[in-house]
Structure 1
Amino acid sequence: MKKPLFILLAIFGTFVQLHSQEKPLSPLNNPADKSLLKSETSEMNWFMLKDTLKVQIGKVQTQIQKKKEKIYIITTVDMKQSTTKWVDSTIVETQNFKPVYHSSFNQQRDMVLKFGKKITGYYLDKKTGTKTNISEEVHKPFFDSNFYPQLIRLLPLKEGYSNTISIFDYNPAAKIGAINATIKNTQETTITFKGQKKQVWKVETTDDISNNTAISTYYIDKSTREILKQEIDFGGRKMLMELVD
């Protein structure tokens, strides 16, 4: 009786070991359905939630241009309390979403990243006036951190789906380099959106940028793969983004 038990334990141990060694998703390990990403323009209202209050603090517009070789994504954030808009631009390869370029300009800082054998560019802290030239080497494949929310809606989502995504982020106040984003859980559910019932994938995520303290929950339309809304929980505060018709 001991021998079969030993064999079962050995098989289980091997399974756990193999499972724990699964590679994070990356351009070299990419199960996304590329046909789901199309040229489009969308806008979301951005709210801060407190108790029963829902206060709009801004708008986020996303423009996607899908070309034969490259995909261009421009995100413009218009905050009510800011006199200038925040603009992030991301370029990835169409074939596997390998990052090519990322820039981000807002009141606090300017940043430009060019992805190649090395990651080069600059980071300008507008509060201190300090400009840092960037030259980073990363010896593993990754997605741009600004692209992974788009990637999530293209994945083979199903009940209970979870995974790890390798991303690159440059933030001197948080993390620099190749880090992970994590899909913690996926549920099939129904929500009421703009007065209509919608079948959605509810996808709960976190990442190393916030030391996994911020939780983003995406509600993705099952048929169109549009992100209908996104909830963000961090430090006891909660924000909400909702797609504008």
Structure 2
Amino acid sequence: MKNTLYILLFIFGASVQLFSQETLLSPLNNTVNEQLINSETSKMSWFMLQDTLKIQIGTIQTQIQKEKEKIYIITTVSMKQSPTKWIDSTIVENKTFKPIYHSSFNQQRDMILEFGEKITGYYLDKQTDKKTEILEKEDKPFFDSNFYPQLIRLLPLKNGYSNTISIFDYNPNSKIGVITATIKNTEETSINFNGKKTQVWKVETTDDISDNTAIMNYFIDKSTRKILKQEIDFGGRIMLMELVE
């Protein structure tokens, strides 16, 4: 009787684990509406908030090019205190958003990831001049960590919506491999945007990249699904990004 009970508990536990893996958002379990993303260019101002002060520290420009089979996303970060721009490029499949390519170039490091049966590329730490060849193999489906902020605005958002997203990140100083991003809550609210009251989805997220210590709130226009504002709380240090139109 006891052995039978153990077997049943094992089967139940395995079923719960399998169910959890299947319900994790990924290119194989995709509830995204791909019609909500189109070719566009947007620019956000980046601020640091200190008490009542709002100090601009840079700008973020995002270019999205949607083609028949692929979507190209180029993000250019310009910091006021740095002459060098931070440029990230991401390529994903059009329908599933399965990652194809990701590159990132900035003052601290250069990185290229190519996604196939294996994940290949390199990571160059410019502080130590150490170059690491990348060869990773993952047996779980995932989105590119650089794409998931775009993914959030394409989901079937509603009051109380929450979910967990499977993402891949490569950071020798933090984590390497398949980790998760978590949508903790979604609520319909309104914000003042360019002097107008605008209905938005406020989506609260966190992820394993920051060990779930950073809380990010996305304010997404209900009608256009554009990200109008993004707030990031790093343990009391607040950053704000606002769409420039």
TM-score per shorter chain, which class?
A: over 0.9
The answer to whether the aligner puts 1:99 opposite 2:99 as a matched pair is yes
In the alignment, does 2:215 pair up with 1:215? Answer: yes
**More deviation, 81-90/19-28:** 19-28
Per-residue deviation, 1:235: 2.5
Report the counterpart of residue 168 of structure 1 in structure 2: 168
- Work out whether residues 182 and 206 of structure 2, in 8 Å CA contact, stay in contact via their aligned partners in 1: yes
Change in 2 beyond 3 A, CA 1:124/1:203? same
Q: CA deviation at 1:194?
A: 1.2
Residue number in structure 2 paired with 1:58: 58
Counterparts of 2:164 and 2:93, CA distance in 1 = 21
> How far off its partner does 1:84 sit?
0.5
SS for the counterpart of 1:188 is strand
1:157 alignment partner in structure 2: 157
- Residues 21-48 of structure 1: per-residue CA shift (max 9 Å, x gap): 6521000000011000000000000000
Shift of 1:160: 0.3
| Residue 201 (structure 2) aligns with | 201
Q: What are the equivalent positions in structure 2 for 1:1-245 lying under 5 Å apart? A: 17=16, 23-245=23-245
* 2:99 and 2:115 in contact (8 A); partners too: yes
The TM-score normalised by the length of structure 1 is 0.92
Question: Which letter maps to 2:239?
Answer: M
Q: Counterparts of 1:97 and 1:205 in 2: how far apart (Å)?
A: 20
TM-score, normalised via structure 2 length: 0.92
SS of residue in 1 equivalent to 2:213: coil
Q: What is the RMSD computed on CA atoms of the aligned residues?
A: 1.6
How far apart, in 2, do the equivalents of 1:21 and 1:167 lie?
Answer: 13
Q: Provide Cα deviations, 1:58-100, integer angstroms capped at 9, x if missing partner.
A: 0000000000000000000000011100000000000110000
Distance 1:84 1:23 in 2: 41
Answer yes or no: is the 8 Å Cα contact 2:22–2:29 preserved in 1.
no
Q: Distance in 1 between matches of 2:33 and 2:154?
A: 5
State the alpha-carbon separation in 2 of the partners of residues 142 and 60 from structure 1.
25
Q: Which runs of 5+ in 2 are unaligned?
A: 1-11
**Aligned residue pairs, count:** 232
Letter of the 2:190 partner, please give it.
Answer: T
State the distance in 2 between where 1:95 and 1:36 align: 12
> What does the per-residue CA deviation read over 1:166-208, in whole Å, with 9 as the maximum and x for residues that have no partner?
0000001111000000000000001111110000000000000
Query: Could you tell me how far apart the structure 2 residues matched to 1:39 and 1:95 are?
Result: 15
One-letter code of the match for 2:35? S
Distance 2:160 2:95 in 1: 27
Q: Matches of 1:44 and 1:105 in 2, distance apart?
A: 19
8 A contact 2:42–2:243 mirrored in 1: yes
In 1, the alpha carbon distance for the partners of 2:21 and 2:92 equals 27
Greater than 6 Å deviation, 4+ residue runs? none
